[in-house]
Amino acid sequence: MNIALIAHDVKKELMVQFCIAYCGVLSRHTICATGTTGKLVSDVTGLQITRFLSGRQGGYQQIGARVACNEIDLLLFFRDPLTQKTHEIEQADLLRLCDVHNIPVATNIATAEALIHALERGDLDWREIVNPNAEYSSRR
């Protein structure tokens, strides 16, 4: 599976802790992330992560383009719902694309845990049927 990681600044440490806890599961998949989030997670966990631009500099759009091309199977996007963001339109566009292309999305740790356990059990294997041309990691 191809997993994308995004975290707002106040949620980056939570994303790092989440990835430490589920490093074993994540290591069997292909991971990409926005710039700073990817660097923080990779530095602490040692996971191989393809890093895009930071979200504000175009990382949301880069991940959104991969969603639109059916190259992302799961999005973990730890959002800060309490702070007004100037780039909320880009975030809304990304979430809309996930809805259009039936990409499972977690915007908080509770949903992320549910999805990571579903991934581990094989409950998300239907993505490989829906998207047979995707290049899935052989590390699985």
Q: What's the pLDDT tens digit per position in 2-26? A: 999 999 999 999 999 999 999 999 9
In a domain, 137, yes or no: no
pTM of the model: 0.90
Range list of H helices, the chain: 12-21, 23-26, 35-45, 59-68, 88-100, 109-121, 126-130
**CATH number reported for the structural domain that contains residue 58 in this entry:** 3.40.50.1380
Q: What is the biggest distance separating any 2 CA atoms in the chain, rounded to whole angstroms?
A: 40
- Distance, in Å, from the CA atom of 31 to the CA atom of 61, rounded to the nearest integer, reads 16
In a domain, 135, yes or no: no
Per this entry, what is the length of the chain?
140
- Distance, in Å, from the CA atom of 118 to the CA atom of 11, rounded to the nearest integer, reads 22
Structurally, the chain folds into a number of domains equal to 1
Give yes or no for residue 35 having a pLDDT over 90.
yes
- Distance, in Å, from the CA atom of 34 to the CA atom of 51, rounded to the nearest integer, reads 6
Do 99 and 74 meet the contact criterion of CB atoms below 8 Å apart?
no
